[in-house]
Chain A
Amino acid sequence: MDYAIRKSRFRLFAILAIGVSALTPLRAAAQDAAAQGVTGPLSGYMDFHFNKADGEPGVLDFHRFVLLLNHSFSSRLRFVGELELEHAFVEGLEESGELELEQAYMDFLLSRRVNLRAGMLLMPVGIINERHEPPVYNGVERPFVDTVIIPTTWFDVGAGVHGELGRGLRYRAYVVAPLNAVEFTADEGIRGGKQKGSEADVRNVGYTARAEYRPVQWLTLGASVWTGDTSFATPRLDTSVALGEFDARFRRDRLELRWQFAQVHIDDAERLNDSLARTVGVSPNIGKALRGFYGEAAYRVWNAGAPRDLVVFGRYESFDTQFRMPEGYVPLKEFDRDAWITGITYYPEPDIAVKADYVYLRNQSGVFPNRHLINIGLGWWF
């Protein structure tokens, strides 16, 4: 009997002792997490800028106020939403600001190789479109190539698949609402053609896909494509668009390098220009090929951990929205541009980026002056 009681007490003591020892590190971890910042049910990012171009007054702009929310119906059924207010103010018929639903999709997580996604999707094109939180990229503003060649933030309604095929090889492929060729322009290319999931016309559809390969920890290679018929508003035309993109990211120790190349081809641009000229009286002079690329080098000169964390960077960009013109149309050299950008990103905290840069923006026209810009920004993720 005594032996049985002693054995029982010993078991109880052992379980309690093991339990306490197991809980202690849990508590320690929780306390440490709290010390690093607490996040609520919402996440998001914000950034505001001071932009000053030579000969022009400075502008202070609260550029982006973005809230992300997510919900798990189960471990396999997830919702993610992203709502963005741009330029702080929205009023009917005003162009000053935008309220955009940039993401709102359901993920059906089936396996590592194949998962389904449907809703408002980010186009998986280029480095920035899916990675656009301010602490992620250098420069107060996003790269020009990711603005006028790849129209970030590029989103629309659609559905598709994503997954990881093998070690380091990831993909996504979606069927999405197409671009609207009627809204293409000479200076910003296909940017105006985004339907943004707002009662999108889907007489035609677009197809987009991206593959990323990470053979080693310090190198990521990416390739993207978007293609689709964009002539639903002008059915007699055949203005399909094909965009191809390649990129590479290298990061080792303090050095980070980025490179990206993107080219857009617009079929039937000649008849598109002609058709729009008949409608509005002026030819929009849309190019049949747009091209841009950039290379960026960044070095973490202060690497002692936030708040002793400072990155210096330089970037060269070349971008031309009239790289090739349709027969009979002359390219305007003001749209053949390149830019040198150099600046710093300071991280007082890993999720807060204080940025400053200088931009020398040139064009080939000989008529329009080159521009010098100073930008200062503050962006954060929470």
Chain B
Amino acid sequence: MPVRSLVAVLVLVLASAPGASPTRAQGPRVIEITAERFEFWPSEVVVAEGEQVELRLRSDDTMHGFRIIGAGIGAGTNVLIPKRGSGYVVVTYIGDRPGRYTFECSRMCGAGHNFMRGVLVVRPQ
């Protein structure tokens, strides 16, 4: 397995359980994302090519999901976002390849569930 792919896959995996806060001297940029019926805020996240970011996902209401779809780097990432008041889940993401990668709610959350989408934009350096 190419080293680059191995690193990319590992970095994309969940970093910690909900509510936990990694302690690093100099960690990746932290981006807070809030999920609520029926949208993410922000719904557009911009990452520089090669940049590693920590997405902290929390909910303002019910349990939601966060899945990156498509064929790009990160495809297959799928986590549950805990309900309001139960902390957050962390996804560590690296902008390995420039492009636009759609993310969406992966857990049925109500009548407007399919509206709940956003985009990860990886900008070239």
Contact = CB atoms under 8 A, between A and B. Distances in A.
Given A32-B82, A214-B41, A217-B41, A130 B13 contact: no
Contact of A28 (B16, B39, B86, B107): B16
Interface in A22-40: 22, 25-26, 28-29, 31-33, 36-37, 39
Chain B interface extent, by class? 35 or more
A350 B87 CA distance: 13
Contacts of B70: 75
Given A112-B102, A130-B112, A136-B61, A167 B86 contact: no
Given A25-B13, A33-B80, A131-B37, A68 B111 contact: yes
Contact of B111 (A37, A133, A168): A133
B52 interface: no
A37 B63 contact: yes
Among A82, A112, A349, the most chain B Cβ lie within 10 Å of the Cβ of A112
A39 B107 contact: yes
Interface string B95-110: 0000010100001111
Interface in B59-74: 59, 61-63, 69-70
A36 B63 contact: yes
B45 to A, nearest CB: 10
Interface in B25-50: 34, 37-39, 41-44
B83 A351 contact: yes
The main secondary structure of chain A at its interface with chain B is mixed
Among B62, B107, B111, the most chain A Cβ lie within 10 Å of the Cβ of B111
B85 interface: yes
Nearest to A25: B14
A112 B108 contact: no
A133 B41 CA distance: 20
Contacts of B123: none
A367 interface: no
Contacts of A107: 114
A28 B115 contact: no
Nearest to A105: B114
A200 to B, nearest CB: 20
Among A33, A103, A164, the most chain B Cβ lie within 10 Å of the Cβ of A33
Contacts of A78: 114
A309 interface: yes
Contact of A82 (B69, B102, B109, B111): B111
Contact of B62 (A28, A29, A170, A350): A350
A235 to B, nearest CB: 35
A102 B61 CA distance: 23
B63 to A, nearest CB: 6
Contacts of B107: 39
Interface in A64-85: 68, 70, 75, 78, 80, 82
B64 to A, nearest CB: 11
Interface string A6-24: 0000000001001000100
Among A15, A29, A309, the most chain B Cβ lie within 10 Å of the Cβ of A29
B56 to A, nearest CB: 13
B62 A306 contact: no
Interface string A298-336: 000000111001000000000000000000000000000
Interface string A261-293: 000000000000000000000000000000000
Interface in A237-274: none
A309 B6 CA distance: 44
B79 interface: yes
Among B15, B18, B62, the most chain A Cβ lie within 10 Å of the Cβ of B62
A114 to B, nearest CB: 12
B9 to A, nearest CB: 8
A70 B34 CA distance: 23
Given A29-B14, A82-B111, A122-B111, 10 more contacts: A18-B6, A31-B17, A37-B63, A70-B108, A80-B113, A112-B119, A131-B37, A136-B37, A306-B84, A309-B85
Q: Which 8 interchain pairs have the tightest Cβ spacing?
A: A305-B85, A28-B17, A350-B83, A43-B108, A33-B80, A25-B14, A22-B13, A350-B84
6 contacts: A25-B14, A36-B86, A70-B113, A130-B112, A309-B85, A381-B110
